[in-house]
Amino acid sequence: MRAHKTYMAKKEDAGLTFQRDWYVVDATDQPLGRLASKLSMVLQGKHKPTYTPHFDVGDYVIVINALNVKLTGKKWDQKMHYRHSGYVGNLKVTPYRRLVERHPEIPVKLAVRRMLPKNKLGRRMLRKLKVYPHAEHPHEAQQPKPLSL
C-alpha cells in the first residue's frame, strides 16, 4: 500500500494556487495572546490545505477595534513594552495601559510578529496584517470576509 504524497507548492504554482483572501477580525474583548495565535495561523496559511512551510500562502487580515483588546489579570499595569535606541542607558519602558492609549495597534502587531517565523518569510507575512484602533478601515474594496475566532 502506497502512502499519500504531501502537497508541496512550487514556484510555478504561485499564480494559480495562492489565492489570497481578505478577512476582517473584530478584536473587541478578545484576549491578546489567543487573538494573536489565530491571526498568525491565518497569515502563515496553516488553515489551508495548500500550506507549504517555505512559501507565503497565507491570507490578508484586517484587525478592527484594536483599542478594545483584552488583557487578563494585572497585565495592563505589569506588562511592559521595551524600546531601546541602541545607546547605552537608553532603554524606554512603557506599561501596556499607556501604550494602548497612545498606539493601540502596537500590542496586537507585536504579539502576532512574535508568533511568526523569525526570517524574511515572517516579515513578508507580517505585511499582510492591517491593524486599526477603531471600526473604520480603508479596505472595503477588497470585500473582506468576517473571520470567526
Q: Write out the three cell numbers for 23.
A: 478577512
Handedness of CA 135, 141, 146, 149 (dihedral sign): negative
Residue 91 domain flag: no
Residue 35 domain flag: yes
Residue 132 domain flag: yes
Instruction: Give the DSSP letter of residue 80.
Output: E
Domain that holds residue 25: 20-71+104-146
Residue 96 domain flag: no
Residue 65 domain flag: yes
Domain of 63: which CATH number? 3.90.1180.10
Residue 15 domain flag: no
- The rounded distance, in Å, linking the Cα atoms of 66 and 24 is 12
Give the per-residue pLDDT at 3: 72
Residue 30 domain flag: yes
**Cα-based distances in Å from 90 to 95, 98, 102, 115:** 16, 19, 20, 27
pLDDT by residue (tens digit) across 30-84? 999 999 999 999 999 999 888 888 888 899 999 999 999 999 999 999 999 999 9
**Cα-based distances in Å from 2 to 5, 38, 64, 102:** 9, 34, 47, 58
Residue 84 domain flag: no
Structural domains in the chain (count): 1
**How deeply is 24 buried, as exposed, middle or buried, from its count of CB atoms within 10 A (0-12, 13-18, 19+)?**
buried
- Per this entry, what is the length of the chain? 149
**Mean pLDDT of all residues in 22-26:** 97
Give the per-residue pLDDT at 12: 72
Top-confidence residue, 130 or 10: 130
Collapse the DSSP code of 7 into the 3-class scheme (helix H, G, I; strand E, B; otherwise coil) and give the result: coil
Question: Mean pLDDT for the chain?
Answer: 92
